[in-house]
Every structure is written in C-alpha cells, then in structure tokens.
Amino acid sequence: MFRGIAVVSIPVPDLEAARRFYGETLGLGTPVYDLPEAGWIEFASGGRGGNVSVTTEGWEGPRGGATIVFDVADCAAAVEGLRARGVRCDDPQTFPGYVTFASFYDPFGNRLQMCSPA
C-alpha cells in the first residue's frame, strides 16, 4: 500500500524565520514548494527519503511526538558545524557498533535529530 514517505511537516509560528533556518542554516536550499499564502514551505531533504515542510497550520508551541532524523556522514562533525552556525545542539551519543546520534533544535524549539554510523 505505502511506497515511502512523501513529506514530513513541522509546525512553526513564523514561515520567514523557518525559511531561513531550514533553507540556509541547515542547508536544505531553495524550497521545492513555496506557498506562504497557504502557510506551507517544502524543502528537499537531500536524500532518498521524503521532503521536509514547515507549516503554520497546527502551531501550538514545540511538542513531542515524531522526530525527523537526518542522515549525516559524521554526527560529531555535523554537531560542530551546526553549533558554529548558532544552532542549539545536544552532545552526540554513541551506541557502539550501531549509531551515533544527536538532537538539535530549530528556532521555535522543535527537536530534530541527526545520525551517522557509530
């Protein structure tokens, strides 16, 4: 029935700030769909998975639930790179032989993660 994930949507209160953070700070680039009048901006995720969108629909503040996990070559290096851009990042955690991952946060407090091989 399902063929994959088309898009994961993150509620935000400010589309322009989200456009800068996701497009420029995270390096997702120019949106593939840019519909501010509909409260929707969508970016390619940079991999074979689905896209990432930001939307003003449903914003009630940062909340738990599903977490987008970006695939990176080196999690520790990615944390340092994001910190250099002013992004709040938790320290990387490693499960030896499996994965290294770290949480980081958008300007609105939404938690995202990244992971790489251990």
Residues making up the chain, counted from first to last: 118
8 closest CA partner among 83, 102, 47, 91? 47
Q: How far apart are CA 36 and CA 47, in angstroms?
A: 24
Domains of the chain: 1-60 (3.10.180.10), 62-118 (3.10.180.10)
The identity of residue 77, as a single letter, is A
Does residue 9 or residue 1 have the better pLDDT?
Answer: 9
Q: What's the pTM value of the predicted model, to 2 decimals? A: 0.90
Each residue's pLDDT tens digit, 44-98 = 988 777 899 999 988 888 877 788 999 999 999 999 999 999 999 999 999 999 9
105 closest CA partner among 67, 77, 71, 73? 67
87 closest CA partner among 106, 62, 102, 74? 106
